[in-house]
Protein backbone atom coordinates (compact mmCIF):
# COMPACT_ATOMS: atom_id res chain seq x y z
CA UNK A 1 0.00 0.00 0.00
CA UNK A 2 1.53 3.31 -1.04
CA UNK A 3 1.44 6.57 0.89
CA UNK A 4 -0.54 8.02 -2.01
CA UNK A 5 -3.19 5.28 -1.61
CA UNK A 6 -3.35 5.80 2.15
CA UNK A 7 -3.77 9.55 1.69
CA UNK A 8 -6.45 9.04 -0.97
CA UNK A 9 -8.46 6.68 1.23
CA UNK A 10 -7.81 8.70 4.40
CA UNK A 11 -6.75 5.49 6.13
CA UNK A 12 -3.55 6.60 7.79
CA UNK A 13 -1.42 3.94 9.45
CA UNK A 14 0.80 4.82 12.38
CA UNK A 15 4.49 4.04 12.22
CA UNK A 16 6.85 3.56 15.12
CA UNK A 17 10.64 3.69 15.33
CA UNK A 18 13.15 2.83 18.02
CA UNK A 19 16.74 1.67 18.45
CA UNK A 20 16.56 -2.12 18.12
CA UNK A 21 20.04 -2.50 19.63
CA UNK A 22 18.63 -1.18 22.93
CA UNK A 23 16.53 -3.78 24.78
CA UNK A 24 14.80 -1.16 26.95
CA UNK A 25 13.92 0.89 23.86
CA UNK A 26 12.37 -2.22 22.26
CA UNK A 27 10.26 -2.92 25.34
CA UNK A 28 9.16 0.73 25.47
CA UNK A 29 8.43 0.70 21.74
CA UNK A 30 6.24 -2.39 21.99
CA UNK A 31 4.38 -0.81 24.91
CA UNK A 32 3.90 2.36 22.84
CA UNK A 33 2.49 0.38 19.91
CA UNK A 34 0.15 -1.63 22.11
CA UNK A 35 -1.09 1.53 23.85
CA UNK A 36 -1.75 3.21 20.50
CA UNK A 37 -3.29 0.39 18.45
CA UNK A 38 -3.52 -2.79 20.52
CA UNK A 39 -1.67 -6.01 19.86
CA UNK A 40 0.99 -6.25 17.17
CA UNK A 41 -0.22 -8.33 14.23
CA UNK A 42 2.61 -7.58 11.79
CA UNK A 43 6.14 -6.51 12.62
CA UNK A 44 8.76 -5.56 10.04
CA UNK A 45 12.19 -5.91 11.57
CA UNK A 46 14.31 -4.04 9.07
CA UNK A 47 17.58 -4.22 10.97
CA UNK A 48 20.22 -6.67 12.07
CA UNK A 49 20.68 -10.38 11.51
CA UNK A 50 20.14 -13.62 13.37
CA UNK A 51 22.76 -16.32 13.65
CA UNK A 52 20.99 -19.67 13.75
CA UNK A 53 18.53 -18.69 16.47
CA UNK A 54 14.83 -17.93 16.44
CA UNK A 55 14.08 -14.29 17.15
CA UNK A 56 11.82 -15.29 20.03
CA UNK A 57 14.50 -17.51 21.61
CA UNK A 58 17.41 -15.07 21.35
CA UNK A 59 19.17 -13.85 24.45
CA UNK A 60 19.40 -10.10 24.92
CA UNK A 61 23.15 -10.25 24.19
CA UNK A 62 22.60 -12.16 20.92
CA UNK A 63 19.97 -9.59 19.94
CA UNK A 64 22.40 -6.74 20.59
CA UNK A 65 25.14 -8.42 18.53
CA UNK A 66 22.76 -8.96 15.63
CA UNK A 67 21.36 -5.44 15.74
CA UNK A 68 24.83 -3.92 15.63
CA UNK A 69 25.93 -5.79 12.47
Residue 31 belongs to domain spanning: 3-68
Domain count, the chain: 1
Q: Which residues, other chains included, contact 17 with Cβ-Cβ below 8 Å and sequence gap of 6+?
A: 29
40-65, pLDDT tens digit by residue?
Answer: 887 776 666 666 667 678 788 877 77
Q: Are 48 and 66 in contact (CB under 8 A)?
A: yes
The confidence band for 19, taking pLDDT boundaries of 50, 70 and 90, is confident
Of residues 65 and 32, more confidently modeled: 32
pTM: 0.50
Amino acid sequence: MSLRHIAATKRARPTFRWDVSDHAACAAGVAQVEAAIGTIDILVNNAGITRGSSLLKMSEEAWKRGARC
